[in-house]
Structure 1
């Protein structure tokens, strides 16, 4: 990769199916500066812009003007960090500290986000990854926005019925082992974002992850439990590689022990030295293909060489005077978020007390209808025609919620998709948020799908592979591993990106950054994000209060409300009285939020430590 100071080159644009040729998605050709960092701490095809309600609210009111910030109140939440120069919130402490260290070194929010993404691949292996994929939303201080799609793709040899047995029923090969893995996009996506907006040399932002893998990191209680669980779950299954997660004593790393991953360190070194080519070509790519094929998978060298991340135009819309910037398809998140928030406005949910029976009943009834559309109508926009204009139109949302009974639940059996058509990532998806002193912001959600993905590490690489192929409609009309029933739009096709629920989101108020948020949790991701946006905008809750609020979820099928144990007995009883089935669970999602405090303009970062660990770091 050429030096950071080299003039950026615009690579040749190539048209994608269903899009016009535009030179807006470009890769700046750069290469690593050969500096050692001792911190422990091609062209893509753009889609058309998806701006729901024309607004200039994403642009700053005083572009490039410095902001006078003061430290905001830290509150009492254990996961809060406050600062005036920058902040990171992620699912693992070392990764958050790496992000802040990059900011202190002079990097911007994008540099820090890339460093966090690579670090989590080492320290948070159940979801952090270079063997999976995801989505990133960027908003620069000058108002520039971008959406980076680095979702996995189906291999070229994939077939529609590849996971069906002789009786036509889905097999668990879609869940475990090399055959379950889509072609990873993380390295390409992080590289594209860095090429577009990064300030530091590429090698510098990969170096902390190399150090963490080579020298090891101390395993905390949350991750010790995760590692022990994956070893137990994969025991005796020849399709998986539990030995990768074992120490020399034959046990998974325990709390307080240092875990080193020399093979992963070597792979990251190749990426640092050669950029994305160090992963998609050369010895790492050869080892990946060799390992996958030997284990029964269907990858080819061409699958890796031809993978491209895509810079898309984000979905941008207004919600009660604030601007929401979020992800377009193949993430369903932005469409569902738009519909949920439009429904909230149509139904005047802001007039109902927060977490009251009336508010939650109307909210889940709108979610019931929204998820019917999500599951039946959405897919990869490069393969299927999506009714985006209709789905994003407020009048359509108004018609969808018009039949809501304010006092009684509507059975999901009586609700279908609102338009005739022409899964979920697990809780182990992970989200991180980053802001810098200038006000640049990154919201990133990425995943392996289920915790530890396919549970298969390609020999010699240290790369844990995803099991994202289950996010396709393996058999349209039947539920995937997480209860989502999906349609023909999301069927398996070679080179296609599977539908996702990931919803990285940025909120802008009066032309200024207000919040950066997202969550893991599969289909619960978008309901979690929508509730957080509403709590911030409608009720004026601070980020720590938002994170502490009880969460609920409805996804059309199965026909039940999922609710956290922390909901009040009165709320549960009221929902049951209106005809809802309420299924309780310990937690929904794992939010990592950063807000710009309206009073001080300082940063308040919050990690969802009470639900699944993590750390917010700020300075």
Structure 2
């Protein structure tokens, strides 16, 4: 009888229909923040740095106080995290940096890893054509050509204010003098990924005499490598250090050569732009899938008044947000890859009329089964056979705003926790396992049941598709007056990165949560396939039950939360108070060793 009542209501009257659904579920949900009123952001008048590791945050603030700008601080943080957060901070990985200067000009630096010249489409298959388990994840052949050193030094040279030696000084000090390990940090160093390789086990695990909480962890080999980079960054790609890396790779059976390193280049790309609730969204372009999928999600949701449906993380809000996730991830699955190797329908995906057509297919009373989802006709080209690529949850993000209003949002990674597990002998840094982000075999389901496509197949020089979504949000501007900085956002979390950033935006802009509450709110994720709604362990059980009653397959990730907490990311966020201009930092409490710091 209730369903007939709902169906009798006008289709445009979504709020009324959804309200009837909520009444049927006897919804009495309150927000997380009402239950935890003490969540307050860190406040600063001049500048703010938010990272996953407190020493790295302090390094950024140190550089800002010395007269550096946000890019200088980002370079300091990037190198500091290579010392203090070896699970993801790195010299041997790659990533993205989004820069917005105080005049409103934006720059996007792509320093993602690249496949070596000797890489081939079927390199991870056995003689029978089957994928060799773990070959793309662990060991020498798992690594792409690293881009982090090129990206950070490029940023400093083109957009920084201080010298590279000044920006790198905190990282060199942290490596040579050491830093004190917290309990979580000491436990992280016990990773089996490090135990497999002699150099890694020696440096990070003292050959089985594991570091304990409160001990000082020093890395003299890494300190010397950092000094060499600070003196001459080209050494890493074209000098003695490049030859040292190449010789080490060759001895271990890896593919990275001196020519691969010499040919690596940072790419400046045009950021993806969107609009939401009177704000301008500036975010990551391909080879990140994150920015365009984020814009598509927000375009779909722009037709709803979310607070009228219920509070933050209520069943009604989660339902429509999840249905937007489902549809945007379907497009991510079918179309995205490296823009240097593929023609990508980015403009079509960002089309607001296309979003409206997707929105019209959302049933306010129940989920749309992914296998029955039909893309609106007339907007997109025929899709190739494709599906979302794998991406590790072990990445890291940091956000920075300086006293002049320059902002940096940066996400970079080794891919898996501690990358390939391989530490370059004599240089003290870990290599990535980014080759796993490519399609190992076209047409074969991965561990998530997803069919992999040729759009992301392995090719020499190709950059693997990513979900990393560094994002900067401003008030709406125009051609003669740029908008004012409002938010700097981003997170790690593999395929959950995009949904986490979307939820962070919704919680802040639609639901009015302060930036610390945003960082700590319980998370949920849907990626089209597999057709299930993943909920963080701390997500409200009554709301989960209501969503299950609506027809969702619910997966509360208690095991993943405990065994792989990176699955839910690590939002490191900054908001600008629109009235006072005060900077508000939100560090994700899922990592107890990070912090928001400013002055």
TM-score range, shorter chain: 0.7 to 0.9
Q: How many matched pairs? A: 539
Tell me if 1:368 matches 2:348. no
Q: Pick from 324, 333, 346: which aligns with 2:281?
A: 324
Taking only aligned residues, the RMSD between alpha carbons, in angstroms, comes to 1.9
Q: Pick from 454, 461, 467: which aligns with 1:488?
A: 454
In the TM superposition, what is the alpha-carbon distance from 1:480 to its structure 2 partner? 4.6
Structure 1 counterpart SS, 2:135: helix
1:375-390 to 2 correspondences below 5 Å: 375-390=333-348
Residue 395 of structure 1 corresponds to 353
Tell me if 1:214 matches 2:176. yes
Separation in 2 of the partners of 1:194 and 1:233? Answer: 32
In the TM superposition, what is the alpha-carbon distance from 1:578 to its structure 2 partner? 1.5
Tell me if 1:310 matches 2:267. yes
Residue 156 of structure 1 corresponds to 117
Tell me if 1:557 matches 2:529. yes
Contact preservation (8 Å) 2:193, 2:418: no
Residue 342 of structure 1 corresponds to 299
Contact preservation (8 Å) 1:267, 1:279: no
Superimposed CA distance per residue, residues 510-529 of structure 1 (whole angstroms, 9 cap, x where no aligned partner): 51111101000011001000
Superimposed CA distance per residue, residues 259-299 of structure 1 (whole angstroms, 9 cap, x where no aligned partner): 11111111111110002x12112121111111112111111
Separation in 1 of the partners of 2:555 and 2:68? Answer: 45
Contact preservation (8 Å) 1:425, 1:471: yes
- Of 575-584 and 103-112, more deviation after overlay is shown by 575-584
Structure 2 counterpart SS, 1:141: coil
Residue 264 of structure 1 corresponds to 222
Q: TM-score normalized by structure 2?
A: 0.87
Q: Pick from 306, 316, 323: which aligns with 1:358?
A: 316
Q: Pick from 458, 475, 480: which aligns with 1:509?
A: 475
Separation in 1 of the partners of 2:107 and 2:390? Answer: 24
Residue 17 of structure 2 corresponds to none
Q: Pick from 130, 134, 140: which aligns with 2:91?
A: 130
Structure 1 counterpart SS, 2:573: strand
Q: 1:217 to 1:185 in 2, by over 3 A?
A: same
Separation in 2 of the partners of 1:86 and 1:432? Answer: 14
In the TM superposition, what is the alpha-carbon distance from 1:168 to its structure 2 partner? 2.2
Q: 1:615 to 1:158 in 2, by over 3 A?
A: same
Residue 179 of structure 1 corresponds to 141
Superimposed CA distance per residue, residues 191-243 of structure 1 (whole angstroms, 9 cap, x where no aligned partner): 22212210001111012111111111111122111101x1x3454x4698433
Separation in 2 of the partners of 1:152 and 1:481? Answer: 23
In the TM superposition, what is the alpha-carbon distance from 1:445 to its structure 2 partner? 0.3
Contact preservation (8 Å) 1:147, 1:312: yes
Q: 1:138 to 1:176 in 2, by over 3 A?
A: same
Residue 604 of structure 1 corresponds to 584
Separation in 2 of the partners of 1:241 and 1:104? Answer: 35
Residue 579 of structure 1 corresponds to 551
Residue 256 of structure 2 corresponds to 299
Separation in 2 of the partners of 1:137 and 1:563? Answer: 29
In the TM superposition, what is the alpha-carbon distance from 1:492 to its structure 2 partner? 0.7
Unaligned segments of structure 1, at least 5 residues? 1-74
Q: Pick from 419, 430, 449: which aligns with 1:464?
A: 430
In the TM superposition, what is the alpha-carbon distance from 1:615 to its structure 2 partner? 1.1
Q: 1:130 to 1:519 in 2, by over 3 A?
A: same
Greater fraction of residues in helix: 2
1:74-223 to 2 correspondences below 5 Å: 76-77=38-39, 80-171=41-132, 172-223=134-185
Q: 1:282 to 1:480 in 2, by over 3 A?
A: farther
Q: 1:148 to 1:416 in 2, by over 3 A?
A: farther
Structure 1 counterpart SS, 2:590: helix
Unaligned segments of structure 2, at least 5 residues? 1-36, 477-482
Q: 1:366 to 1:478 in 2, by over 3 A?
A: farther
In the TM superposition, what is the alpha-carbon distance from 1:398 to its structure 2 partner? 2.3
In the TM superposition, what is the alpha-carbon distance from 1:435 to its structure 2 partner? 0.5
Separation in 2 of the partners of 1:134 and 1:315? Answer: 16
Structure 1 counterpart SS, 2:555: strand
Q: TM-score normalized by structure 1?
A: 0.84
Superimposed CA distance per residue, residues 422-462 of structure 1 (whole angstroms, 9 cap, x where no aligned partner): 64432320000001111100000000111111011111111
Q: 1:473 to 1:398 in 2, by over 3 A?
A: farther
Separation in 2 of the partners of 1:477 and 1:366? Answer: 26
Separation in 2 of the partners of 1:485 and 1:113? Answer: 37
In the TM superposition, what is the alpha-carbon distance from 1:167 to its structure 2 partner? 2.8
Superimposed CA distance per residue, residues 86-111 of structure 1 (whole angstroms, 9 cap, x where no aligned partner): 11000101000000000001111110
1:226-305 to 2 correspondences below 5 Å: 226-228=188-190, 230=191, 232-235=192-195, 237=196, 241-247=200-206, 250-275=208-233, 277-305=234-262
Tell me if 1:589 matches 2:551. no
In the TM superposition, what is the alpha-carbon distance from 1:317 to its structure 2 partner? 1.6
Residue 420 of structure 1 corresponds to 382
In the TM superposition, what is the alpha-carbon distance from 1:399 to its structure 2 partner? 2.4
Separation in 2 of the partners of 1:485 and 1:597? Answer: 45
Separation in 2 of the partners of 1:97 and 1:341? Answer: 34
Contact preservation (8 Å) 1:412, 1:559: yes
Structure 1 counterpart SS, 2:99: strand
